[in-house]
Structure 1
Amino acid sequence: MLQNAHELMAIYSENPRIASIMAAQQRWLMAHAGFSLFLGYPDEPIPGLYASRFTDFAVKHGIASRNTAAAFLKEMLAYKFIQPIQRGSDRRVTLLEPTPFTREYMMRWIHTHLIVLDTLDGGNRMAAIAMDPDATWRMHPIIAKRIIDSDILRNPGETFNLFNWATSGSVVVDYLISRITSMDFAADKVLIGPLSMKVLQSQFMISKTHLKRLFKRAAEFGSVGWVGAPGKSSFWLSHTFVSEYWRYQAEKYAIIDTVSHDVLNTAEKSDERFGIVVLGLSRD
């Protein structure tokens, strides 16, 4: 989990604007929804991303209101994270696609999780991806559907929800978790050392007022606090808060693990089948 937090922090540092899309629950869900509609969302008739389809999808799955979804799509166009492509048979519909930069970012997001999984169990997921790069895009729509359908990921816990639904909130949580150096499981608090609110504000493009409000509310939950004088002593996280983060990450990794296993194994079986046919050994 610490490796995961550090990896996500590194991605955020490289390009805060696009990473901020994944740093709030609602925007994270909309990003996965849009990308998966483009690739071909499971149970949807055909692949394709366009405004009315995206807003309908967001409302249907309880991700965002129609106005919020439409505003998000316009923002993605303005920042050139998505772009129009050639019109389809219906001239009234403008089809959209992720730009190469966005594809690269989403690919890295998936690969970061696969690398952590390989580290956990000594697997060869990334080696298999190197042999079949398109497997990444076969995985994504299934991963997206399972994320959107997961109650654990949609409602990870009171404190994590507080941060996760706030602008840049989830990356603030990643930062807090990344500060953990040791765990005393007998204690009810995890010390992470001194914490600078000024650093948090500047690093994650979050206003002082907004950040203060988040931490004040989390303190009221009994989830965070200072050992002594605020700003001058060690900061702590409750075990309950840390457990919410672990539960959330465990669910996400379990989804990606299952999907990668299914997609990569299917590809391997197809390759084996192709080899048998080429050798003239097929009985069909």
Structure 2
Amino acid sequence: MLNELAIAKNESKEWVDTPALHMPAGNVDRLMAAATFPSAVEFLAQNFVAGYESAPRASALFATQQRWLLSLAALSRHYGGDGAGMSRRSIAQSALKYLIASRNTAYAFFDEILKYGIVTPMTGRELSKEIVVVPSSDALAILVQWCDMHLAALDRIDAGTRSERFRAAPERLLPLLMPPLSEGLLANPHVRMPGPLYRIFAWTDAGGLLMDRLVAGIDRQASWSGGYLTDVVTIAQIARAFSLSRAHTSRKFAEAEAIGGIGWSGRRGYSPLWISHGFFSEYAMMQARKLLIFQAAFAAAEA
């Protein structure tokens, strides 16, 4: 991944690191200090896992940090005002601008989402020099659900009604929400490159789902001095849930265990797995940064 980022930076002629909708660190700290914030984080993790279970192919396609960012890059082109739309070239331009991936990786991503029907060719652009695509109806439904769960998480924190207002008019609000949202997320360096424990999982195939599942399985009633106990006991259990190989899952767990992010509370494979306070803090901070950008973007959309 680091090699690819270096390639992307070398290829890019316009890379910038000035966050749009950037939130001061103090805002993140205040959000994370809210008594209702841990419940919102758990809510998001549970919904990410549920989203995979309802649409495994689409969810697995975007279950890495890089593909998630490439998805945002594609959406920024679809909802952006420059008229270029989503194409292999425009997605690659955004990938290079934000130091997400190399040109060839962006091209491969475009080919993959086209192959699996995540996007479809845009009618009326048949004679253009390159294929311009739009999100499929299924992809739009997943996008609406993804936005709604984040707005609902915000509502859990401050007892707001954003989710209710969004669900009342998603067709009107989504095109207004996505430009500031995608730009805010892509331009924030802390969102693009989170902490080391988060990266262990998020940069690999379906690693984000493994991380979501661990957080979703936290047992709030159980106390553990080193962190939080989960309902996960065996690697095979979690690998099977996401149709992953046990070897791949074991490697990710071993890397996280080596730097103190996870471990077994007793005998390995026969006792609940725990995640450290640091691991949860990295995951929670990522969600906090996203939620603050969602908050600002939704306010802009409604305005």
Same topology, TM > 0.5: yes
Amino acid at match of 1:66: R
1:94 aligned to 2:131? Answer: yes
Q: 1:84 to 1:179 in 2, by over 3 A?
A: same
Which 4+ residue blocks in structure 1 deviate beyond 6 angstroms? 183-186
Q: Counterparts of 1:240-259 in structure 2 under 5 Å? A: 240-259=278-297
- The match for 2:28 is none
- The match for 1:85 is 122
SS in 2 for 1:205: coil
- The match for 2:255 is 217
Match of 1:200 among 226, 238, 248: 238
Amino acid at match of 2:70: M
Write the distance in 1 (CA, Å) between the matches of 2:142 and 2:222.
Answer: 36
Task: Check whether the contact 2:223–2:229 (CA below 8 A) recurs between aligned residues.
Answer: no
Q: TM-score, normalised by structure 2?
A: 0.81
Listed as ranges, the gaps of 5+ residues in structure 2 are 1-40
Structure 1 window deviating more from structure 2 (111-120 vs 121-130): it is 121-130
1:4 aligned to 2:4? Answer: no
Q: Counterparts of 1:1-284 in structure 2 under 5 Å? A: 1-40=41-80, 45-88=82-125, 91-133=128-170, 134-182=172-220, 187-264=225-302, 266=303
Q: How far did residue 150 of structure 1 move?
A: 1.4
Q: 1:30 to 1:102 in 2, by over 3 A?
A: same
Q: 1:95 to 1:124 in 2, by over 3 A?
A: same
Write the distance in 1 (CA, Å) between the matches of 2:126 and 2:264.
Answer: 61
Write the distance in 1 (CA, Å) between the matches of 2:84 and 2:223.
Answer: 47
SS in 2 for 1:118: helix
Write the distance in 2 (CA, Å) between the matches of 1:202 and 1:81.
Answer: 25
SS in 1 for 2:296: helix
- The match for 2:10 is none
Structure 1 window deviating more from structure 2 (181-190 vs 92-101): it is 181-190
Q: TM-score, normalised by structure 1?
A: 0.86
Q: 1:141 to 1:235 in 2, by over 3 A?
A: same
Number of residues paired by the alignment? 262
| Higher-RCO chain (CA-CA 8 Å, sequence separation at least 6) | 2
Amino acid at match of 1:132: A
Amino acid at match of 1:261: A
User: 1:105-132 CA distances to partner (integer Å, 9 max, x unpaired)?
Assistant: 1111001111121222121213322443
Q: Percent same amino acid at aligned positions?
A: 28
Structure 1 window deviating more from structure 2 (191-200 vs 16-25): it is 191-200
Q: How far did residue 51 of structure 1 move?
A: 1.2
Task: Check whether the contact 1:87–1:95 (CA below 8 A) recurs between aligned residues.
Answer: no
Listed as ranges, the gaps of 5+ residues in structure 1 are 267-284
Could you say what the CA RMSD is over the residues aligned between the two structures, in angstroms?
A: 2.0
Write the distance in 2 (CA, Å) between the matches of 1:119 and 1:14.
Answer: 23
Write the distance in 2 (CA, Å) between the matches of 1:26 and 1:103.
Answer: 20
Structure 1 window deviating more from structure 2 (178-187 vs 135-144): it is 178-187
Amino acid at match of 2:263: G
SS in 2 for 1:237: strand
Write the distance in 2 (CA, Å) between the matches of 1:183 and 1:164.
Answer: 27
